[in-house]
Amino acid sequence: MEQELQLLWAAIVTYVLAGITAVIGVVLGKRPERSVLTLMFAGLALQAASIGLRWERLGHGPFITMFEILNSNVWSLMVAYTVAYWRIPRIRASAAIVMPLMFIMLGWLMVTHPGEGHYPPTYNTPWLYIHIGLGKVFLGAVLVAVGLSCVIILRHFGFGIRRLGQLPPSPQLDELAFRCMAIGLIFHTLMLIAGAIWAQDAWGRYWDWDPLETWAFITWLTVAFTIHARLAFRISPPVHAAMILTVFVTAFLTFFGVPFVSMTPHQGAV
Amino acid sequence: MTQQDLAEAIERENTQLESIERRTHISLLRRLASLRLTLWLIALLAIGTILALRQEGARTWPMVIPLGLLAVNLLSAIATNGVFRRQTALLVFHLSLVALLLLVAAGRLTYLKGHAGVTEGTNFEGVLAEVERGPWHNGKLSSVSFVNNGFTIEYAPGLQRGATRNDVAWRDATGRSQRSVIGDQEPLVIAGYRFYTTFNKGFAPTFRWQGADGTAVFGSVQLPPYPMHEYSQALEWTPPGSEVSVWVMLDIDEVLLDREEHSTFRLPEKYKLVVRVGNERHEMRSGDTLSLNDGTLRFEGLRSWMGYRVFYDWTLPWLLAACAVAVISMGCHFWQKFAAKPWDA
Ligand code: HEM
């Protein structure tokens, strides 16, 4: 347990260093991209080791408590953003926005209790990994879109026009954000399908209006709405960006709010 | 104007009227196909979904109305919007959404959902405790039968329930006998009815009832679920064929599931079975008999019972197929669209 938490702390410090380096780079108009990327990969490796040790100790993956769910999602979101950062060099300056966003989740993770939870028998199925994995890809794709959207909105309101000027023009960022949302929609759809199959196997119903599945469906609708609004009104990049932020907030509340607010989360826990 | 001129003029007039009519039809269809309407309807569906989540009683119309309108909107768009003729994958995706909608509707009209408790060593005979069904449900539940051959459930410390393994036997459609172990992720499926084990299970004192006319029947009392209702293991029961109501209580004198250790669900060995008839109280052991006004009750011993969730919905494989088509076509559509032009072109 000690070692797990030490590794996690080391990962958090590394992420924070990566974030600070990215912000300073943008503010000073420098490009410390290699350092940022190295720090990101190092943070991922440290956090993976921490999650791995805990997995080994408890005999199950990070799917049960708030601590575990936040922990594994910080990791998967960081994987998604690191891949985007690595593969699409033109958008690297967006790290100055995405990393501080991640700090909020890191702060939350640090104040949650790392105790263990009860692993229900209905989780003994590959569908657990498929369902959760697909959800993580969805959220990761939306996070990249959120980073680009924040850049579009900031520049629209005249913030950091020069500093964020090294990023491509807003119509291009808008197109890339849309593509991330398209990937997100595919994976969200797959997540809903996998969840329905699992629920049918485990509880004998593919849909039962439990708060988490219902909010996941509402999130899906917000993505469908955004895509059609962009087609119907040819909306401008800042408006599209605001809609993407709305989708992210809905998705975020669904992932991290509903299961812990509602009295009847996924009935898996019984 | 000759008669023929007149006829031609009328004919022309009619054709014009018809084409105006056709045009109004088309413009109505165009309006129904509006993408802006789609946005309103998606928002309406989201509101309906929240209503349905909040109120169990509001799960039909708040969903049916926006979904129905979306279907009209979508079908009109497919009929009039050239985008769908040019982009096959997009068309297939939206058609699969319509197919999904129709399948869900069909499922809601014909589904069945219920619960049944079956005592170990006895048959499920098509009778459910609680049922809910679509108005057009026409499955043959009464002809479905299987035997519950008992189950095992392991508990981790802290009474954390582990895997459930339930041994069941039945005859398949060709009359051959089949046997299988179901539980957790694995239902028993007979004639489209799916039987899922649940955490409702417990003890069932089993009796033989011999009426005054000499006929003997077996029956069991499925006491409240264990360990959920550990401290209220009692139930009022009327033996099959009798008129007399008896009160049966199981008083367990040992620790069955240890909170500190790994344990397995099992029948108690040290227990008292208390049977009360009117004001008379009796303690019965296996093999004891009790004379009532209209016959004799003999306690045959304790068994377990399993509570099953029963679900029937013939649309399941079709829903899965429609979902697969939807995801694949959506993927193809985006792939084609994005491959045609880089994002920073
Ligand atoms: C029910 C009413 C609906 C109507 C009338 C409708 C109509 C349309 C139309 C006309 C287009 C093509 C627009 C264009 O390329 O100019 C389109 C695109 C699309 N629709 Fe729908 N749609 C409906 C529902 C949905 C739903 C519920 C989804 C689920 C997510 C969806 C997902 C999409 C996607 C992914 C595209 C492709 C967007 C793109 O290529 O940029 N549609 N829709």
Min Cα distance B109 → chain A (Å) is 15
pLDDT at res. A268:
40
Q: Which of A60-74, A99-113, B8-22, B146-160 has the lowest mean pLDDT?
A: B8-22
Crossing angle of helices B316-340/A170-203, nearest 10°?
160
A96 and A52 share a domain?
yes
Domain extent, residue A106, equals 1-115
B335 CB within 8 Å of a chain A CB: no
The token pair that represents B264 in the structure block? 């397995």
pLDDT at res. B1:
64
At which residue do the structure tokens 């989708």 appear?
A: A247
Min Cα distance A172 → chain B (Å) is 5
Find the length of chain A: 270
A8 and A104 share a domain?
yes
pLDDT in tens, B318-341: 999 999 999 999 999 999 999 999
The type of residue at B172 is D
The type of residue at A214 is T
A126 and A256 share a domain?
yes
The best mutation among A231, A234, A240, A247 to test binding of ligand 1, ranked by most ligand atoms within 8 Å of the C-beta, falls on A231
The finding on whether B303 has its CB within 6 A of some atom of ligand 1 is no
Handedness of CA A125, A128, A133, A138 (dihedral sign): positive
Whether B273 and B266 have beta carbons less than 8 Å apart is answered as no
The rounded percent of chain B whose pLDDT value lies above 70 is 100
Average pLDDT value for chain A: 93
A93 and A2 share a domain?
yes
pLDDT in tens, A165-220: 889 999 999 999 999 999 999 999 999 999 999 999 988 999 989 899 999 999 99
pLDDT at res. B71:
97
pLDDT at res. A267:
44
Contacts of B124 (CB under 8 A, 6+ apart): B116, B118, B144, B145, B146, B147, B148, B195, B308
Q: What is the pTM of this model?
A: 0.91
pLDDT at res. A199:
92
DSSP for residue B269: S
Residue finishing a domain among A115, A145, A160 = A115
Give me the number of domains chain A comprises. 2
pLDDT in tens, B132-185: 999 999 988 998 999 999 999 999 888 888 889 999 999 988 989 999 999 988
Output phi, psi for B9, to 5 deg: -60, -45
Average pLDDT for residues A158-169, to the nearest whole number? 91
Comparing CA positions, the residue from B147, B149, B132, B153 lying closest to residue B190 is: B147
Nearest CA in chain A to B52: A209
A86 and A174 share a domain?
no
A264: pLDDT strictly greater than 80: no
Comparing CA positions, the residue from B287, B294, B304, B202 lying closest to residue B239 is: B294
- Rounded alpha-carbon distances, angstroms, from residue B224 to A61, B227, B233, B274: 34, 9, 6, 15
A140 and A238 share a domain?
yes
Residue finishing a domain among A115, A131, A166 = A115
Confidence of residue A262 (pLDDT cuts 50, 70, 90): low
Whether A98 and A84 have beta carbons less than 8 Å apart is answered as no
pLDDT at res. B15:
79
B42 CB within 8 Å of a chain A CB: yes
pLDDT at res. B84:
96
pLDDT at res. A266:
56
A74 and A158 share a domain?
no
A205 and A263 share a domain?
yes
Whether A143 and A95 have beta carbons less than 8 Å apart is answered as no
pLDDT at res. B12:
83
Average pLDDT for residues B305-320, to the nearest whole number? 97
Pairing of strands B112-119, B123-124: unpaired
- Rounded alpha-carbon distances, angstroms, from residue A222 to A219, B39, B120, B282: 5, 10, 49, 65
The finding on whether B100 has its CB within 6 A of some atom of ligand 1 is no
3-state secondary structure at position B324: helix
Comparing CA positions, the residue from A155, A76, A71 lying closest to residue A115 is: A71
The type of residue at A138 is F
Comparing CA positions, the residue from B238, B310, B301 lying closest to residue A203 is: B310
A203 and A256 share a domain?
yes
A128 and A109 share a domain?
no
A67: pLDDT strictly greater than 60: yes
Whether B118 and B145 have beta carbons less than 8 Å apart is answered as no
A84 and A131 share a domain?
no
A1 and A98 share a domain?
yes
pLDDT at res. A270:
34
B39 CB within 8 Å of a chain A CB: yes
pLDDT at res. A265:
44
The rounded percent of chain B whose pLDDT value lies above 90 is 74
Q: Which of A102-111, B13-22, B41-50, B219-228 has the lowest mean pLDDT?
A: B13-22
pLDDT at res. B19:
78
A43 class by beta-carbon count within 10 Å (0-12 exposed, 13-18 middle, 19+ buried): buried
pLDDT at res. B300:
95
pLDDT at res. A269:
36
Confidence of residue A263 (pLDDT cuts 50, 70, 90): low
Min Cα distance B317 → chain A (Å) is 10
Whether B308 and B196 have beta carbons less than 8 Å apart is answered as yes
Do A214 and B53 lie within an 8 Å CB cutoff?
yes
Count helices and strands (H / E) in chain A: 9, 0
Pairing of strands B130-133, B123-124: unpaired
Residue finishing a domain among A90, A115, A140 = A115
